[in-house]
Amino acid sequence: MNKFTLPLIAFVALVALLAVGLNLNPREVPSPLIGKPTPDFKVPQLHNPDATFSPKEMEGKVWLLNVWASWCVSCREEHPVIVEYAKKGLLPPVVGLNYKDKRDDGLRWLARFGDPYLLSAFDADGRVGIDYGVYGVPESYLIDKAGVIRFKQIGPITPAVMENKILPLVKELNQ
């Protein structure tokens, strides 16, 4: 050990930092909505235009709000994951928010790829999306029994996100 190893030590620290940095995403900005109550809304349901849905109806339950659209390519990637986990009964109730879509397209899409949702709310003009700060579809919000947003996923839910983030949090919130 001499003073000439100092550059090496400094470099090892730098590499460690960069290795950590590689696993972080500089574009992943935490949502200001986390820890806040869900913004309220009341919109028609997708399957039944005469019935409405409001987050208030879900009070007392842990639930997942999943924003999707038939025109969204990444949703196609995400959808099978939700369908599979819902089929296994691992998920809490999932409410879809059909975002800036046409009713027929949305219905056809669910018929084709499967409908894992308790129901889908129909946000034709994207008003609800604005309140929730949706800036890319798909996005998902995990909401606790008191109606507080606990987790937000921007982009598709992958099996890894499901296993490592959502399911453990659901278990914790249900206790």
Partner 1 sequence: MIPELGHFALLLSLFVALAMGILPLVGAQRNHPQWMAFARPVTALSFLLIAFSFACLTWAFYTNDFTVQYVAAHSNSQMPTMYRLSAVWGGHEGSLLLWVLMLAGWAGAVALFSRQLPDAMVARVLGVLGLVLFGLLAFVLFTSNPFERLLPGAEEGRSLNPLLQDPGLVYHPPLLYMGYVGMSVAFAFAIAALIAGQLDAAWARWSRPWTTVAWLFLTLGIALGSWWAYYELGWGGWWFWDPVENASFMPWLVATALIHSLAVTEKRGSFKNWTVLLAIAAFSLSLLGTFLVRSGVLTSVHAFATDPSRGLFILILLAIVVGSSLMLFAARAPKVSLGGAFALVSRETFLLINNVLLVVACGAVLLGTLYPLIVDAFGLGKISVGPPYFNTVFVPIMLPLLVLVAIGPVARWKHADLKVILVKLWPAAAVALLAGIALPLLAGEWQAYVALALALVGWMVAALVLQTIDRMKAGTPTASWWGMQLAHFGLAAFVVGVAMVSNYQEERDVRMTPGETVTVGGHSFKFLGVRDAAGPNYNASVGSFELTRDGKVMRMLHPEKRDYGPGSMPMTEAAIDASLARDVYVSLGEPLDADKENGAWAVRVYFKPFVDWIWGGCLLMALGGLLAASDRRYRLKVKAQAATANIANKAGAAA
Which residue, 30 or 89, has its beta carbon nearer to partner 1? 30
The residue (of 73 and 111) whose beta carbon lies closer to partner 1 is 73
In the complex, the smallest distance separating the C-beta of residue 13 from partner 1, rounded to whole angstroms, is 11
Contact 105, 70 (CB under 8 A): yes
Where do contacts with partner 1 occur on this chain (CB under 8 A)?
A: 2, 4-5, 7-8, 11-12, 15, 17-24, 26-27, 29-30
Q: How far is the CB of 150 from partner 1 (least distance, A)?
A: 18
Residue closer to partner 1 by CB (options 26, 60) is: 26
User: Which CB atom, from 8 or from 160, has the smaller least distance to partner 1?
Assistant: 8
Task: Tell me how far, at minimum, the Cβ of 30 lies from partner 1, in Å.
Answer: 7
H helix or E strand, kind and range, residue 153: strand 149-154
Concatenate the DSSP letters of all residues of 42-81 into one string. -EEBSS-TTSEE-GGGGTTS-EEEEEE-TT-HHHHHHHHH
Tell me, what amino acid is at 121?
A
- In angstroms, the Cα distances linking 22 to 25, 40, 154 are 8, 37, 19
Provide, rounded to whole angstroms, the least separation between the CB of residue 14 and partner 1: 8
